[in-house]
Amino acid sequence: QSVLTQPPSASGTPGQRVTISCSGSSSNIGSNYVYWYQQLPGTAPKFLIYRNNQRPSGVPDRFSGSKSGTSASLAISGLRSEDEADYYCAAWDDSPYVVFGGGTKLTVL
């Protein structure tokens, strides 16, 4: 059982906007930044969002993050077939220990 809770699956059609939630507690999301990673099938995770809502260079602005209290969300707008992947949230929990969400499998219908 993961410390951060994510829905196991999400889906959308091309062009749609989808959101993936990540729920934690005061010791992790409530007091620290949230990070998001994308894992395409059969590949290593890729850095997607840092410090709640910042995008690393090269990440399309279709991807956005937000945080409120002990929860965070990843939004993907203009959904594309290549967005089909597993998405993980992460945060410090009583730093320096890192906790991940269980992952959300996004299907593009």
Partner 1 sequence: EVQLVESGGGLIQPGGSLRLSCAASGFTVSSNYMSWVRQAPGKGLEWVSVIYSGGSTYYADSVKGRFTISRDNSKNTLYLQMNSLRAEDTAVYYCARAPTLEPALDYWGQGTLVTVSS
Is residue 87 involved in binding partner 1 (CB under 8 A)? no
Phi first, then psi, for residue 57 (nearest 5°) are -55, 135
Q: Which is nearer to partner 1, 17 or 51 (CB)?
A: 51
Give the whole-angstrom CA distance, residue 93 versus residue 13. 35
Residue reference for tokens 């994308």: 38
Is residue 35 involved in binding partner 1 (CB under 8 A)? yes
Residues 46 and 38: beta-carbon distance below 8 Å = yes
Give the whole-angstrom CA distance, residue 88 versus residue 39. 8
Residues 36 and 90: beta-carbon distance below 8 Å = yes
Is residue 92 involved in binding partner 1 (CB under 8 A)? yes
Is residue 51 involved in binding partner 1 (CB under 8 A)? yes
Is residue 90 involved in binding partner 1 (CB under 8 A)? yes
Is residue 99 involved in binding partner 1 (CB under 8 A)? yes
In the complex, the smallest distance separating the C-beta of residue 40 from partner 1, rounded to whole angstroms, is 12
What is the binding site for partner 1 (CB under 8 A)?
2, 33, 35, 37, 39, 44-47, 50-51, 56, 86, 88, 90-92, 96-103
